[in-house]
Structure 1
C-alpha cells in the first residue's frame, strides 16, 4: 500500500470544509469532491461538539476509503491533537497557536502526518526546519471569510516557499498555498511557484462540486506536467522510500 507520506507528496488539491450540517449532505458532497480529484480533506468547523466532529470525520474516512481503488484521499483533523488521537487520525493540521508538532505527534500513530499553517517567511522557515512537521501551508494569499482576522500575505510568501522548498526536491517538505484561491486566480499562484493548493469556497459553494474539483485538479495536473523539475518526481520519491 502507498505510504501516507507518498500520498501527501503526490497530493495537489486539498479541500477544507465544514461538516455541512446546514445542507445535511457531507457524505454526498465528499463523494463528489473526491470523484473530481480532491486528494486531502480537512473537516474544519470551529466550536464543534467533540462527538459531532468525530462523527463527521468518520463519514469523511468512510467515503474516502470507498472513493478510489488504491490510495484513498487523506482525511485531516483540524487543530486538536486530542480529537486526532481519538480518531486515530492519519493527518493533523496545526495553526501557529496550537502547540508544538512534536508534542502533538506523541498522540498520533507512527506514520501520521502533521501540518503547520505559516503566515510569514520566518514561520515558513521554522516549519521547514521542524522534523515533526510533514508539510506546511502558506497564506492567506487573498482575503478570505474563513480567516477574517488574518491580513492577506499576497504572492511573496508563495515565492518564498518555492525558494526554500522547491517543489521538485523530493527531500524537502511539501507545501500548499492557501487563502481565497479559486480557478480564476489559480494561475497566479502557479506562476509564483505553487503546485499544491488548499481551497474552501471554490468547491464548498460550487453548484457542481465534482466539476469544480475536476477543473482545479486538471489545472494543477497540467502545471505538474509542464514543470521539468517534476518530470520524474514520483520515481525519485519511490526510489528514496518517501
Structure 2
C-alpha cells in the first residue's frame, strides 16, 4: 500500500464520521506488530471480523520504518472493514499514515500540542490512572475519549500499579454527575486485565453503565494471545453486550 493514499482531498465530514464510530465503539484492541509471527494482516482481519471496533498498533520493540510498514497494513485492513485504526505516541507517524485515532499517555504530548500538530479531524485519546486525571480528561473539550486503568496489574504495563475497580465506580459516578452534557457523553474505556472473565466485575463496578455510560473495554492479551482471535473477539463483544 502506498502512503500516497493519505494525500486525498480533505473531507469536511470526516471528523463527524469518526466521532460517530467512536461513540458506537465498545471494543478497542492494542496489538504489537506481530513481527515474530508474520501474521499481522490475518490477525487484523480476524479481530475486525470478530467485532473489534478500533485497533491501535503499540509496539516499542520495532524501528520507525517497520512501524510505518505495519501501520500501512493496519490502515488497509481497517479500510476494508470500514473501521478505525489508531497510532500510539508518535504524532509524526500519525500524520504520515493518516490515522483515524491518536492516543497519548500522561507524559506524552499535551492534547493542545496534539491538536496543533494533527488538526481537528483526528480522534484523540488519553490514558488516565487516577480520578483527578480522569476528571481532567472529562473536562478537556479537545479530548475525545480517555482510558482508565490498568484495573489489574498486567505485563503489558510493567511497573504500573493497578488502579483497582474502585476507580471504575468513581469514574462512572463522575461522568454521570458531570455538569454539562458533553462531559457526561465523553467516551470512556476500561483497560488492564479486562477479559471475558473479569468484564462482569468491571460492569458491576460501573453500575453496568452508570448514567447511561455503557462499559467499554480495551483488550490486549485476550486477543493477541488467543489461538482463535476472531472467536476471542466475538466472546468479548458478547460479554460487553452491545
- TM-score under structure 2 normalisation? 0.85
* Contact persistence 1:118–1:136 (CA under 8 A): yes
**1:196 corresponds to:** 216
Please name the residue that 1:9 is paired with. Answer: 23
The aligned counterpart of 2:59 is 45
Query: Of the candidates 27, 30, 36, which is equivalent to residue 41 of structure 2?
Result: 27
5+ residue gaps in structure 2?
1-12, 210-214
Aligned-residue offset at 1:89: 1.5
What is aligned with 1:178? Answer: 191
RMSD over equivalenced CA pairs, Å = 1.7
Q: Secondary structure at the match of 1:41?
A: strand
1:65 match: secondary structure = helix
2:181 & 2:156 partners in 1: Cα distance?
31
Is this contact kept in 2: 1:90–1:109, CA < 8 A?
no
Q: Which portions of structure 1, spanning 4 or more consecutive aligned residues, are displaced by more than 4 angstroms? A: none
Number of residue pairs aligned between Structure 1 and Structure 2? 217
Question: What is the DSSP-based 3-state SS (H/G/I as helix, E as strand, rest coil) of the residue aligned with 1:117?
Answer: strand
5+ unaligned residues in a row in structure 1: which ranges? 225-242
Q: How does 1:1-242 map onto structure 2 within 5 Å?
A: 3-67=17-81, 72-166=82-176, 171=182, 172-193=185-206, 195-221=215-241, 224=242
TM-score normalised by structure 1 residue count: 0.85
Deviations 1:114-173 (A, max 9, x none): 100000100001111112211000000001001011100111111122112249x97321
Give the CA deviation at 1:57. Answer: 1.0
What secondary structure does 1:107 align onto?
A: helix
Q: Following the alignment from structure 2 to structure 1, what is the Cα–Cα distance between the partners of residues 176 and 234?
A: 25
Distance 1:128 1:30 in 2: 30
SS of the residue aligned with 2:118? coil
Distance 1:24 1:170 in 2: 45
Q: Look up the SS of the partner of 2:117 in the other structure.
A: coil
